[in-house]
Amino acid sequence: MTFDPQLVHVLGGILAVLFVATAIGQTLKHVLQAPAAANTVENLNARLNAWWGMVVIVGIAVLTGLHGALILFGLLSFLALREYITLVPTRRGDHRALFWSFFIVTPIQYLLIANRWYGLFAIFIPVWAFLLLPTRMALAGDTECFLERAAKVQWGLMICVYCLSCAPALLMHSAVEGARLLLYLIVIDQMSDVFQYCFGKLLGRHKIAPLVSPNKTVEGTIGGGLSAVALGVALRFMTPFSVGAAAGVSLAIVVAGFAGGLTMSAIKRDRGIKDYGHLISGHGGVLDRVDSLCFAAPVFFHIVRYFYTG
Amino acid sequence: MNLREQVVGSTLAGFVKLVTGANARWYAEPPSPEARARVYFANHSSHLDFVTLWASLPPRLRACTRPVAAADYWASGLRAYLAQKVFRAVLVDRGKGTGKAPEPAAPKSPKGGHGDTIPRLSEVLGGGESLIFFPEGTRGDGQEVAAFKSGLYHLCATNPGLEVVPVYLENMNRVLPKGEVLLVPLMCTVSFGEPVQLGEAEPKEDFLRRAHDALCAMRDR
């Protein structure tokens, strides 16, 4: 088995960056002893440790092609949906519809990608699950808050399963180019979060939406976003994009990712919690980590599909 | 317990932890295994309750903790194997009749307990093993914690100095509610609180209310 050399190079570069970041994190731990700074550094180091695990998992997934990517994102969807449904109040009458969401709708969505059946992949959750699940809930006979309950389950499936499944769906058309595009999407999306975090910590003054996401600042978002666009242009050798197109596509990923983070935060605030889960040390749950990807993946997928595949 | 039952037990504990993502929170120090036997008492809304609580205990405590389970449900077939061999449940008769009919929430039974139940449980505690106990007596809908039956009080009155630990199980009714056979893998939390003890000459109603409050306090934390 030979691996795509481009993927290997980019993954090697990511590991090198992570190595340098870890060295800096460990140095800061010894240099900064003040309690306020120590907390930030401790959180930074916890995040870096988790990054090592996440990079290894993503690396294996993109190197093993369509099936590796499907297994990874299928699991991510499952875990994200679980965090989402745990948080959203449901009633006894939703039980069977929830069972179907986890064990029938989610696997079918990923099996459709495995079979490269684009037509059904694109409408399965928005049409078929959309009609089927409320029917199952109506059959259960509980009408209390029916519309809210049906809407909440459908929204969770759209975000956690449909939107997230657009990431591995990049490999439907071409496994090699698709894997590069998938890694490109993940790197720009996640580095945009990292850059925004760094710029926000260093320069952040003006809060964008203090009630929704107190850590998002104008300075952090613009500085981090522009850095991510620059990275997107620098990495365009992985993609079919020209310089201008790479900048435009990266900007779309950054903006969609920002919208995802903000929207998913609004739900957390409404439910009165800080994180969706506790699976990834320093990051919260899976949904906290992939919130921006949930919005960026479908945007990126459809841009690529419309402009770059026949 | 032989090797096969240990493997089945650890596998089940792992499976339940995977399904429920059971996140144990200790609001008091977890007892050392050398500590004396205790009773973990919890709210009851699902058949998975005692397995989840059991799986949330550190393995060394798990080995010396036995659930108190209803004889009518756990008496035959695979359930009997699991209850008797794997979890080493102490099977008790939970009421007159088959347990199918809903029992009154707080029976005013003058004797309390059913025949030899309390002596048998006391014997297990005397042997140094802890118990998992559901003082509501039956599964609820997961919304409210029903009033306790008197079993917990009689257990404490018979075993002076016994520590009973409130354990609130959250979301179990959403994973496997009463009357369901299909699991929905939501995340659950198991919150262990500060132990409660029966005060000297404390009336039964006061003690049961105090224990009930301690359990509800874990829910609201």
Q: What is the pLDDT of residues A256-304, one digit of tens each?
A: 999 999 999 999 888 888 787 776 666 778 999 999 999 999 999 999 9
Angle, alpha carbons B199-B135-B129 (nearest 5°): 75
- Note whether A206 contacts B: Cβ–Cβ < 8 A: no
Q: Please, which pLDDT band fits residue B100 given cuts at 50, 70 and 90?
A: very low
Among the listed residues A165, A218, A223, A233, the one whose alpha carbon sits nearest the alpha carbon of residue A194: A223
CATH code for the domain of B112: 3.40.1130.10
Angle, alpha carbons A179-A180-A185 (nearest 5°): 95
Q: Compute the nearest-CA separation of B16 from chain A (Å).
A: 15
How many helices and strands in chain A, by DSSP H and E? 13, 0
Name the most confidently modeled range: A230-239, B14-23, B107-116.
A230-239
Instruction: Answer whether residue B83 is part of any domain.
Output: yes
What does A2-31 look like in DSSP terms, one character per residue? ---HHHHHHHHHHHHHHHHHHHHHHHHHHH
What does B4-69 look like in DSSP terms, one character per residue? HHHHHHHHHHHHHHHHH--EEEESSPPPPTTSPPEEEEE---STTHHHHHHHHS-HHHHTTEEEEE
Q: In percent, how much of chain A has pLDDT > 90? A: 75
Instruction: Answer whether residue B128 is part of any domain.
Output: yes
Q: Which domain holds residue B80?
A: 3-95+106-219
Q: Compute the nearest-CA separation of B84 from chain A (Å).
A: 30
Among the listed residues A291, A300, A270, the one whose alpha carbon sits nearest the alpha carbon of residue A80: A291
Q: Please, which pLDDT band fits residue A310 given cuts at 50, 70 and 90?
A: low
Q: Domain limits of chain A? A: 180-310
Pick from B141, B173, B185: CB nearest A82 = B185
The DSSP call for residue B111 is: S
Instruction: Answer whether residue B101 is part of any domain.
Output: no
B184 to chain A: which residues are within 8 Å by CB?
85, 95, 98-99, 102
Contact yes or no for B182 and A95 at CB 8 A: yes
The mean per-residue pLDDT over the stretch B142-170 comes to 91
- Cα–Cα distance measured from residue A182 to residue A62, given in angstroms and rounded to the nearest whole number: 7
- Report how far Cα A133 is from the mean position of its chain's Cα atoms: 25
Among the listed residues A57, A87, A67, the one whose alpha carbon sits nearest the alpha carbon of residue A291: A87
B206: Cβ contacts below 8 Å, ≥ 6 apart: B199
Pick from A102, A278, A279: CB nearest B184 = A102
Q: Among A241-250, B18-27, B30-39, which is the least confidently predicted range?
A: B30-39
Query: Token digits for A169?
Result: 């769906």
Range list of β-strands (E), chain A: none
The mean per-residue pLDDT over the stretch B132-137 comes to 91
- Cα–Cα distance measured from residue A303 to residue B144, given in angstroms and rounded to the nearest whole number: 50
Nearest-Å Rg of the Cα atoms of chain B is 16
Q: How many domains does chain B have?
A: 1
Query: Token digits for B35?
Result: 């500590």
Interface test with B, best of A86, A90, A133, A142 (most B CBs within 10 A): A86
A98 to chain B: which residues are within 8 Å by CB?
184
Q: Among A19-23, B66-70, B209-213, which is the least confidently predicted range?
A: B66-70
Pick from B171, B180, B187: CB nearest A83 = B187
A94: Cβ contacts below 8 Å, ≥ 6 apart: A137, A140, A142, A149, A153
Average pLDDT score, chain A: 92
Sign (positive or negative) of CA dihedral A126, A130, A133, A137: positive
- Residue A146 pLDDT more than 90? yes
B174 to chain A: which residues are within 8 Å by CB?
90, 95
- Residue B112 pLDDT more than 60? no
- Cα–Cα distance measured from residue A246 to residue B187, given in angstroms and rounded to the nearest whole number: 40
Sign (positive or negative) of CA dihedral B169, B175, B176, B178: positive
- Residue A86 pLDDT more than 70? yes
More confidently predicted of B2 and A75: A75
- Cα–Cα distance measured from residue B49 to residue A202, given in angstroms and rounded to the nearest whole number: 48
Name the most confidently modeled range: A26-40, A92-106, A208-222, B101-115.
A92-106
A277 to chain B: which residues are within 8 Å by CB?
21, 187
- Cα–Cα distance measured from residue A310 to residue B2, given in angstroms and rounded to the nearest whole number: 64
A279 to chain B: which residues are within 8 Å by CB?
21
- Cα–Cα distance measured from residue A99 to residue A107, given in angstroms and rounded to the nearest whole number: 12
DSSP, collapsed to helix, strand or coil, labels residue A72 as helix
Contact yes or no for B187 and A86 at CB 8 A: yes
- Report how far Cα B202 is from the mean position of its chain's Cα atoms: 23
Q: What confidence score (pLDDT) does residue B106 get?
A: 40
Instruction: Answer whether residue B100 is part of any domain.
Output: no
Order across the sheet with B38-42: list the strands. B23-26, B189-192, B163-170, B38-42, B130-133, B65-70, B90-92
Interface test with A, best of B186, B220, B221 (most A CBs within 10 A): B186
- Residue B107 pLDDT more than 50? no
Query: Token digits for A59?
Result: 């690396």
Q: Compute the nearest-CA separation of A107 from chain B (Å).
A: 15
- Cα–Cα distance measured from residue A86 to residue B191, given in angstroms and rounded to the nearest whole number: 17
Task: For residue B98, count other CB atoms closer than 10 A to its CB.
Answer: 9
Pick from B174, B180, B187: CB nearest A277 = B187
Calculate helix-pair angle for A35-63, A175-203, nearest 10 degrees: 170
Among the listed residues A269, A276, A274, the one whose alpha carbon sits nearest the alpha carbon of residue A291: A276
- What count of Cα atoms within 13 Å lies in the side-chain half-sphere of residue B171? 24
Instruction: Answer whether residue B215 is part of any domain.
Output: yes
Instruction: Answer whether residue B122 is part of any domain.
Output: yes
